[in-house]
Amino acid sequence: MTTVSSVWTAFAPVVAPAAEAAGFDGGAFGRTLLATAVAVVVVLGITFAVALRVGKQAVIDVTWGLGFVAIALTAFVTSGGHGDGLRRWLALGLTAAWGLRLAGHIFSRSRGKGEDPRYEAMLKRADGNPNVYALLHIYVPQGLIMWFVSLPVQIAMFVEGGIGWVLWLGVLVWAVGFFFESVGDLQLTRFRNDASNKGKVLDTGLWRYTRHPNYFGDASVWTGLFFVAASAWPGVLTILSPAVMVWNLYGGTGKKLLEKDIGDRRPEYADYVRRTSGFFPWPPKPADPSVRD
């Protein structure tokens, strides 16, 4: 947060006059940033209390989507009287649709199960109270990322004008991402629910073209929301927000950790990795007959 403040202080003399000329109320936006930060603390605080009660930190995965919904709703309420109605409702509605679907999916998938192996591995590294370790190494980082990635949604509530092709491009990119994420999750759920697929690798449907249709979808959703905000000044200044989300999914804790876990448990996954695009959808390479059943 200190780094973000320093960057803003450095660029404020240049950015602020142009933003004010575009009808952007920087003071009101600053108050919304504070309100959404409080919303993140409240949501994660409740989540932490629930995690302590049920005995697993994986409940934060459900909160991931709900936290963005809380941010969007808080920004929508606190920005009343600012921005363009269409863009404001799009920012709220698209974020809510994504967040609620994701939360419902993860809740259904994890219900009745124990702790996520990723969190188990993290908590084993705790030097002292594991709950304090979880708070500092799971909740605080996710809260900061959640707040930062949501900046396009927050600023979209304030910017005015620019209701044109960039905004509708954003809606289209969001729709592509929502399709990949929701359909990919549905296909994986059906695959896992079929007992005959135990130990096998899903390589049909969207999973034929990308090893992570849900992660690609996530990245597209937030790129689309960025375009919605960037369709008017100074929304384009939030470009780092979708960049952080894409990096986190592609090179951070998303794709990398998941593939390591699956690869350790399923030897045939190596061939799937060899022939299937790691992120962006692309026609697959021919399978290696030597590793097929």
pLDDT 10s digits, 181-194: 999 999 999 999 99
Above 50 in pLDDT, residue 18? no
pLDDT 10s digits, 21-75: 457 899 999 999 999 999 999 999 999 999 999 999 999 999 999 999 999 999 9
pLDDT 10s digits, 123-139: 888 888 999 999 999 99
pLDDT 10s digits, 134-179: 999 999 999 999 999 999 999 999 999 889 999 999 999 999 999 9
Above 90 in pLDDT, residue 214? yes
Token pair recorded at residue 59: 């409940």
Peptide bond into 141 cis (omega under 30): no
**Number of C-beta neighbours around residue 164 at 10 A:** 10
pTM of the model: 0.87
**Number of C-beta neighbours around residue 287 at 10 A:** 15
CA distance 17 to 2: 23
Closest CA to 238 of 224, 252, 248, 253: 224
Closest CA to 146 of 54, 215, 43: 43
